[in-house]
Structure 1
């Protein structure tokens, strides 16, 4: 089968791992889109069939939850990624700094 074009032999394992992640993201995106469509369709059905008589009111919050929950979940996954630092070396440097307690604090070493 061979390696895909543009991918060198050393990067093939990384490429295979990212392909699996990308496929799972597509699957999750399609499923969440399907859930939103079901919620919107249920709300439209209630509007068409039951709204004039105001019956079956339980369908309204249920369909709104189905309609908006995937949107909220995707926004909560995408927005933090937009504001995260892309410089991994700077992140490692910031994590490795030691914290020294103030003199006279409860954590200060007794000498």
Structure 2
């Protein structure tokens, strides 16, 4: 029983580490998109040149944020219940047959 708990802890750590890596990667990509938009605004906006940088910057800026939300929000939206409570609280009574 003790080794099983250790395996579950190790698996939880790996999952948390994976979430952290994905979140940091999304943050770095989003910051890069913000820098592209800022550079375009600073350098090319007055002349309206290099307009390809605007949609490219928005894709880099917004896509990782949306992906992170889709990865993180389901964990907050699911109900966490004890297995003992789950069987008793979700039990549907069997209807009585009419004779």
Task: Report what 2:50 is aligned to.
Answer: 56
In our comparison, the structure showing a higher alpha carbon Rg is 1
Q: In structure 2, list runs of 5 or more residues that go unmatched.
A: 93-99
- The reply on whether 1:34 has 2:28 as its aligned counterpart is yes
Equivalenced residue count is 88
Q: In structure 1, list runs of 5 or more residues that go unmatched.
A: 1-7, 98-111
The structural deviation recorded for 1:54 is 0.3
| TM-score normalised by the chain length of structure 2 | 0.74
Q: Per residue, is there more helix in 1 or in 2?
A: 2
Match of 1:21 among 15, 23, 33: 15
- Take 2:44 and 2:4, find their aligned partners in 1: how far apart are those partners? 61
Moved beyond 6 Å, runs of 4+: none
1:56–1:20 Cα change, 3 Å: same
Within 5 A, what are the aligned runs for 1:50-89? 50-87=44-81, 89=83
| TM-score normalised by the chain length of structure 1 | 0.67
The structural deviation recorded for 1:87 is 2.4
